[in-house]
């Protein structure tokens, strides 16, 4: 079996940089643009950045945790790296595509691997109308915000907002309110991954709202449309003994 070529990228921390230098002294690498696999050294933030940076190339990302939580990362281990990369299991994800328009008419088109989130910008609660596939499902949600999460992102901000954890492969998206005031008991919805969701901001001059796709933000939005983009594929690599599916399953039984 031909061993894959790889290159390292590291987060801007002392721990990650030290790991990169140690690994580069130990293994033969290729320039980043020529690598079959990018080995990301850091935390989940670096993984998301690396996936965004390599979208057009479609290479696989193997993360090793040099950060804090590292949910999307493998355990850090310098031994037998080429062999581990060769036997790693690949998970393919399709990101969300956010098309947002501001009150002033500015437009932003961006991809989100974890979630698209809308958040109030001021002391005033946001008022949001929700439509799914062209059908209005909620005339008015009064809240601090609302988000749509992919399965891979369901254990991140979505979980902190008390949204459901979604197993990989279920072809679902989580629609989760953030501190909903009216309707007070609404806890969100699970939608098919083919759904197209539209958020219309009610009274945006008095109640301004920002929209963020991972780390691309547009402020003072008037309308936001979100759908999964099956034309874009992102590839993550995991050690077989601790793959992403098992991590998401295990997360549902955490105290």
Active site residues: 44
Contact 160, 185 (CB under 8 A): no
Rounded-to-integer distance, Cα 173 and Cα 167, Å:
10
Strand boundaries in the chain, DSSP class E: 6-10, 37-42, 60-65, 89-93, 96-102, 107-112, 115-120, 126-132, 135-143, 145-149, 172-178, 189-192, 196-201, 209-213, 216-218, 221-228, 234-238
Strand bridging mode 60-65 / 37-42 = parallel
Report the alpha-carbon distance of residue 217 to residue 100 in Å, rounded.
9
């Amino acid at each position: 079996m031909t061993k894959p070529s790889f290159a390292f990228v590291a987060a801007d921390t002392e721990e990650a940089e030290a790991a990169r230098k140690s690994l580069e002294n130990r293994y033969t690498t290729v320039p980043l643009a020529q690598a079959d696999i990018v080995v990301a050294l850091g935390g989940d933030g670096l993984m998301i950045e690396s996936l965004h940076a390599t979208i057009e190339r479609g290479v696989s990302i193997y993360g090793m945790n040099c950060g804090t939580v590292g949910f999307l990362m493998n355990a850090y281990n310098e031994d037998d790296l080429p062999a581990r990369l060769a036997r790693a299991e690949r998970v393919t994800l399709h990101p969300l595509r956010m098309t947002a328009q501001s009150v002033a008419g500015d437009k932003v088109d961006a991809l989100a691997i974890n979630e698209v989130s809308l958040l109030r910008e001021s002391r005033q609660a946001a008022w949001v109308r929700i439509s799914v596939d062209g059908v209005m499902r909620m005339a008015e949600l009064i809240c601090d915000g609302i988000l749509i999460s992919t399965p891979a992102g369901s254990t991140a901000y979505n979980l902190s907002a008390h949204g459901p954890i979604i197993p990989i492969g279920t072809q679902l998206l989580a629609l989760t309110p953030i501190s909903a005031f009216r309707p007070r008991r609404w806890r969100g919805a699970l939608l098919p991954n083919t759904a197209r969701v539209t958020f219309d901001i009610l009274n945006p001059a008095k109640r301004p709202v920002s929209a963020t796709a991972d780390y691309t933000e547009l402020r003072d939005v008037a309308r936001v449309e979100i759908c999964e983009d099956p034309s874009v594929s992102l590839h993550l690599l995991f050690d077989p003994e601790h793959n992403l599916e098992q991590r998401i399953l295990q997360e549902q039984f955490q105290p």
